[in-house]
Amino acid sequence: MSSFDVLIVGIGGQGTILASNIIGEACLIEETPIKGVETHGMAQRGGSVESHVRIGGEYGPLIVPGGADLMIALDLLEAVRYRHYLKKGARVIANDHTVVPTSVHMQHLEMPGRDALIADLADFDLTLVDAAGLAAEAGNLIVQNVVMLGAAAPSFPLKPESLEEAVRRSVPPKTLDLNLKAFALGREAGLKKD
């Protein structure tokens, strides 16, 4: 059985690990094997981070460059940084926002504009999501990762109900309503594209 490979990318602190945990719970619910790897240590401190998730994966946890079926990018610049991991024409669900890296200010580097970043993703099936706007609508900017997961939900080989149940099992109880709302708003945004 071949796996459905998902790459979650972003900036340390944005919640890629929680997003991958939710996908893992959903796989447990559906009794689908799952493997993955995530970034810890050095790269946590505001650095670029990547999380590999292999749904149905039976062997190693690493996705091979050129092998990912779907990318969830919590930052638009990071989507471009990891695009070589994607299969031709793969789905990309990207946050329509980027945090300017400190290197741009300190080393006077050029920061590509939004249009240039979107053009860099032209070969893929791109959906842009206003994660901050939807998270604010849900009630807190902190749930942008769950908004993005919701937006990606229609592209998963998992039932949206399983993902929703996984959200219930994975987030702190007192933030449950907030996260469920974020997931629902994200899912709506993800469906609109199709």
Partner 1 sequence: MVKRYLLGNEAIAHACIEAGIDFASGYPGTPSSEVVDTLRAQKEREFYIEWSVNEKVAFENALAASWCGLRSMVTMKHVGLNVAADPLMTSAYTGAKGGFVVLSADDPYAHSSQNEQDTRRYAHFAKIPCMVPASVQEAHDMMKDAFALSEEVGLPVLFRPTTRICHSKGDVDLAEVSQEHRTGAFEKDPAQYVVVPAHTRMLHKRLNEKQPVVRKAVLDLGYNTTEVRGTTAVVACGIAASYVQEVLPADVSFMKIGCFPVDPAWMEEFVQAHETVLVIEEGAPVVEERLRQLSCGVKVFGQMDGTVPKEGEFSPALVADAMVQAGILQASPFQAPAAPAPDLPPRPPILCAGCPHRSVFYAIKRAFPDGIYPSDIGCYTLGLQLGTVDTTICMGASVTVGSGIAHSGEERPVVATIGDSTFLHTGVQGLLNAVYNNAEMTLVILDNRITAMTGHQPNPCTGETAMGAASVPVSLEALCRACGVQFVETVDPYDFTATLQALKEAKARPGVKVLIAKQACVITARRAKIRRWRYVVDPEVCTACGACLRFGCPALGRDENDRAVINELCNGCGVCADLCPTGAIGKEGRK
Positions in the binding site for partner 1 (CB under 8 A): 11-12, 20-21, 24-25, 27-28, 33-48, 59-62, 64-67, 77-78, 80-81, 83-85, 99-106, 109-112, 120, 141
Cα–Cα distance between 136 and 141 in angstroms, integer?
5
Q: Closest separation between CB of residue 182 and partner 1, Å?
A: 17
Contact status, residue 139 vs residue 151, Cβ threshold 8 Å: no
Q: Closest separation between CB of residue 156 and partner 1, Å?
A: 15
Q: Which is nearer to partner 1, 6 or 194 (CB)?
A: 6
Q: Which is nearer to partner 1, 99 or 191 (CB)?
A: 99
Cα–Cα distance between 94 and 97 in angstroms, integer?
8
Q: Which is nearer to partner 1, 33 or 160 (CB)?
A: 33
Cβ-in-10-Å burial (0-12, 13-18, 19+) of 175 comes to middle
Q: Structure tokens of 46?
A: 């505001």
Q: Which is nearer to partner 1, 45 or 194 (CB)?
A: 45
Q: Closest separation between CB of residue 33 and partner 1, Å?
A: 6
DSSP state letter for 69: E
Query: For tokens 């945990």, what's the residue?
Result: 21
Q: Closest separation between CB of residue 154 and partner 1, Å?
A: 22
Q: Which is nearer to partner 1, 10 or 190 (CB)?
A: 10
DSSP state letter for 60: -
Contact status, residue 127 vs residue 193, Cβ threshold 8 Å: yes
